[in-house]
Copies of this chain bind each other. A is one copy, B any other.
Amino acid sequence: MNITLENAEKMISAAKEKAVAINTKMNIAIVDAGANLVAFVRMDGAWLGSLDISIKKAKTARFFDMNTGSIGELSQPGGSLYNIEHSNGGLITFPGGIPIKNSNGEIIGAIGVSGSTVENDHAVAEAGISAL
């Protein structure tokens, strides 16, 4: 139950379109159900540091089957998952990562976007999700 490359490319295409529409330059990553990279693009001029962040967001979303921002709410000082980011070779727990589900509701991968505000990152990830 893995996302296909064809669908991953559809998602990336839609995400890029959204990124252009809101005047941002994004790194966009798609992982499969095993949290392994399927497709990635870095738009011209996008932040270099967001390369790794976009991949980590996608992995994080699949690792815990939820939006990355939801984990970040629990990992704050005093929170129940404080400093969970030290696991799995580094998590990113602010918005921009979203699990991908098939038509049966099964999780088949995740998308991660980084390159602008977390609100924009999340919006571009959502645009990718909507393309499926």
Contact = CB atoms under 8 A, between A and B. Distances in A.
Nearest to A75: B83
Contacts of A33: 34
Identical chains bound together, number: 4
B76 A48 contact: no
B34 A88 contact: no
A38 B49 contact: no
Interface in A89-120: 89-94, 117-118
Interface of A: 1-2, 4-6, 8-9, 32-44, 47-53, 56, 59-60, 62-65, 72, 75-78, 80-94, 117-118
Q: Which 5 A-B pairs have the closest CB atoms?
A: A34-B34, A49-B63, A86-B90, A40-B40, A85-B86
